[in-house]
A and B are shown apart, each in its own frame.
Chain A
């Protein structure tokens, strides 16, 4: 089971946080601090796995963002690395050449995509097509660009 997924920039700014178990705000803040310190201080060519307390931390850097995933001790690290990669692929497909700005300005979409892919700390759907299809289906329920442009700007 996955415990949490964090995305943060090289400066340590948190861009996305998904917690799969209930935790107090204080705990979350502390964990975030610990993760950012630990991951940002890693050497460039080290391995992608760390031990932290009783969890395994899998991290990978994509451009300016660090993806940090915590899994329980008995889980498979390599497949968790591929979970991260699959999520990046999904974001990429949705946003088209996704970059950090996309995630900043469309944070709620990033959460929605994550929710289609993972649930309750487990993988829900591993087929890229299926996930994309359901995201696109929900997008169909939204407005067009013209309607968007006529919206108030405050």
Chain B
């Protein structure tokens, strides 16, 4: 016979449970359950009405079956019937059933609400509590609509019993959380706040949860609670352990209430009233002092309760962030806990210190514990404690200890739990970037990251390192060298191949002088990894190969051989096939200068918010460990940028990142032919923005021996305020590309190429208005004295020349007349052209 200690155990139920437990197999269990379900069904459908006891028993059995994990689709009606019984136990089971198996049948809901209403108005405290419990457990919208106005009344009525008040407070809280619009506190506010002064501690405990939630949503209305809370707290904290009788928990006075009071105070800034503030500070100091006293009991419950209050007090001190001595004391206390015997305390200390680390007063104090934290990272057996230690290192990182911390995190990463590796990788990447003074250290760190945890290095991380290498001239050579060495490892991660392929493709020339890293050696190194890589990587490598052909003409034959072979040009993957075919063709038919133009070195990236930070925030979700200030990284973003190469305003950048690309970028990027040499492998958000329509642009100055004048890449500036015409014109003395003319209606850009005595000018017309130009013609003429020297050939490379329709403002355009001047003696600028709208 199973143990039955008190009254109303249902015998049939106990027998049933025994049967289930004795079933030897899952099938037997299901069989027994089905038998029982059939029995109950027949009983419920039966002719004669069931007595209350039986109904209760069967409903309870159904509940048991449901809780075992099987679905129940009947019994609700009977459960609702139980609600109207006069017997407490029957009501209880009925309420339990409907709270657990919530049904959205509207008829049932109406009946349930009726029963609840009856119980609420019954004046019987036990029945009222049952009803309130049910409302709190279910908390549906219909219930909120029915009862939200009545419950506050019950709560503050003078004749309500204490137990009912408690239930009412928490029930109201639940309704407020689910349907805040239906719970209007208005007239009840002051009375509810006054509950903080109630004699019954249980009532205060329940009421304070309600008040805390309400204060968070309407801080002004409830701000009178602050002084009440402070006085209550100080009474508790200074009370002897015998004062509060049953509310003392293992010699700690009212720990739950104390914690809740401290939590309530965290909803508000420090109290302005001097007396209140003084009392509060005194309170906090008492709590901190008590932590130093010897414990009154050896039981872990005593220390848990005491420390719970201590940690909550520390949270409050951190929240206020205004009392330096309290902050330092808190920090020291946590420092002591860092080396405590109990794992729980070490865990919590590490966690609390994370928040302390972001406060300016205590940041330095936190840093003094760096050795302890590093030690914890290495030696803790519990993985969640190690994780907190890693979080704390991340939070306390600043310029002075960045190198040390990054090194420690890297070595931790080698043995870290797989579930946290991705987050760790993101954090290391962020720290390395933020505190890099010497960018070769940054490059080393990221490459190490790839080596150690390559699988978890997400795209954002390696895009970022490439972005930075491209933007900084001084680190390009170092990056090429390091990547070259890293690739020589026998087993290197695919991400390393991606980074290596890209960097060698761009900057391989910087190390080509050394015979150990000559062009052919570089190519062979990359190609040796080729067949091990996935499709996107191979695509990236193919792009690197064509860049090699441009950089190192001596490798052309070898690479063409590779491109020509069947596994490339007949590859089953469309992207690879297309690239192989196009690159092969490009290398064969394009002249060296066209090739150089197409495969010019990548221009610096515009500055934008690090997507790594965004990814980390998304990963951690709300309430995450504090991340380094975003503004901070933006301020320091200037350093990331390639020195003085560009100075566009960051805010202008931000606006130009939006959907409408700047007119000038489009202007010069438009070609009627498809862009050759598509952007590197995966279309990450970073690269796509920059490379939207334009292929790689201006030729690399170093290698080109055709004497091209162009040096600066096409401007990607967002539309600057309309510059003076003269300024625009003057810059063409040393530049071939740029905006030639701009006014409110029209923007004209020019891109020109010259070779010996031949020149080619592309003129781009952009319609800046939102209306179509009805007719638009262009004529070019040559000033008198040059006429004999220059032979013009004017082609209009567009659909029709008479009426040209332009698309809307800000988007691309079609017309690009081609002017091919030929001249005998060298051309003298400026060359006037006349455009008539």
Contact = CB atoms under 8 A, between A and B. Distances in A.
A74 B772 CA distance: 59
A11 interface: no
Contacts of B87: 141
A74 B312 CA distance: 10
17 contacts: A47-B343, A47-B346, A47-B385, A74-B263, A81-B304, A82-B304, A85-B301, A96-B5, A108-B92, A121-B174, A123-B205, A126-B247, A129-B246, A134-B129, A138-B92, A143-B7, A148-B9
Contacts of A107: 64, 67
Contacts of B385: 46-47
Interface in A125-154: 125-130, 134, 137-139, 141-145, 148-149, 151-154
A119 B382 contact: no
B88 interface: yes
Interface in B441-496: none
B263 to A, nearest CB: 8
Interface in B121-147: 126, 129, 133, 136-140
A51 B102 contact: no
Interface of B: 2-12, 14-15, 17, 21, 39, 53, 60, 63-64, 67, 69, 71, 87-89, 92-93, 96, 102, 126, 129, 133, 136-140, 163, 166-167, 170-171, 173-174, 177-178, 201-202, 205-206, 209, 246-247, 249, 254-257, 259, 263, 301, 304-305, 307-308, 311-312, 315, 343-344, 346-348, 381-385, 387, 621-623
A105 B14 contact: yes
Contacts, number: 210
A119 B15 contact: no
Given A76-B311, A107-B67, A126-B249, A138 B126 contact: yes
Interface string A33-56: 000000000010111111101100
A79 interface: yes
B381 A45 contact: yes
B8 A143 contact: yes
Interface residues of A, number: 68
A154 B12 contact: yes
A81 B3 CA distance: 28
A47 B347 contact: yes
Contacts of B343: 45-47
A127 B308 contact: no
Contact of A43 (B206, B257, B381): B381
Sorted nearest first, the 5 A-B pairs with minimum C-beta distance are A142-B7, A142-B8, A78-B308, A120-B174, A73-B623
Contact of B17 (A104, A123, A124): A104
Given A112-B92, A124-B202, A95 B246 contact: no
B167 A124 contact: yes
Contacts of A86: 249
B226 to A, nearest CB: 18
Contacts of B63: 108
A47 B384 contact: yes
A123 B246 contact: no
Contacts of A50: 384
Interface in A72-107: 73-74, 76-79, 81-83, 85-86, 94-96, 101-102, 104-107
A46 B384 contact: yes
Most buried by B among A22, A105, A128: A105
Contacts of A74: 263, 623
Most buried by B among A104, A128, A134: A104
B139 A78 contact: no
A47 B382 contact: yes
Contacts of A78: 304-305, 307-308, 311, 344, 348
Nearest to A99: B3
Contact of A124 (B170, B178, B246, B312): B170
B308 A79 contact: yes
A95 B382 contact: no
B246 A142 contact: no
A126 B201 contact: yes
Given A47-B344, A152-B11, A108 B17 contact: no
Given A101-B3, A124-B202, A127-B202, A142 B344 contact: no
Contact of B623 (A54, A79, A105): A54
Contacts of B205: 123-126
Most buried by A among B5, B167, B254: B5
A123 B2 CA distance: 31
Nearest to A58: B344
A115 B170 CA distance: 12
B206 A54 contact: no
Contacts of A49: 344, 347-348, 384
A119 B346 contact: no
Contacts of B381: 43, 45-46
A64 interface: no
Contact of A79 (B10, B93, B305): B305
A142 to B, nearest CB: 3
Contacts of B170: 119-120, 122, 124
Contacts of A134: 126, 129, 163
A82 B308 CA distance: 9
A82 B53 contact: no
B254 to A, nearest CB: 7
A144 B246 CA distance: 30
